[in-house]
Amino acid sequence: MTLKRYWYYIFSFLIGLAYFIFYFTVHPLLISTSWLPILEIGYLILNSIFITAFLMKDILDERKIRMASPPIGPSWIEHGPFAVMVFLQLLITLLSDTEYLTIMVKIILSILFLVDIGWDLWQDVRAKSYRKN
């Protein structure tokens, strides 16, 4: 992996960190309002959209790697570090949830993000010879 590729990981991590910090900054401000459930549902929906997109990209990348081609999309797209931050956010919020359905959804999303993180890293290692940078 070249030094240039590390910047892609750092950029993805910083976006994930902003996503993470926003949640934990806004959450205490909304704790006594009717907006808190909207924040929670919004994050669950966003996390579901993210994991669906990430897994679809990994499926397509897997297909390309098996055909000895570079992964789809620009080489600067890295979602692994972002997925780590979402995974951590899900785990931390899981500790304070009391509603069964929300807990189950967060557990499923956490497992999917964990699978995605491992799969993405494995693909990055295998696809390095197919990338231009």
Structural domain boundaries, residue 43: 3-27+37-130
Tell me whether residue 43 is in a domain.
Answer: yes
DSSP string, 55-99: HHHHHHHHHHHHTT-PPSS-TT---HHHHHHHHHHHHHHHTT---
- The one-digit pLDDT tens for each residue of the chain (133 residues) are 556 678 888 999 999 999 999 999 998 888 888 888 888 899 999 999 999 999 999 999 889 888 888 777 766 678 999 999 999 999 999 988 888 999 999 999 999 999 999 998 888 888 776 666 5
pTM of the shown model: 0.87
Number of domains within the chain = 1
Would 32 be classed as within a structural domain?
no
58 is a domain residue: yes
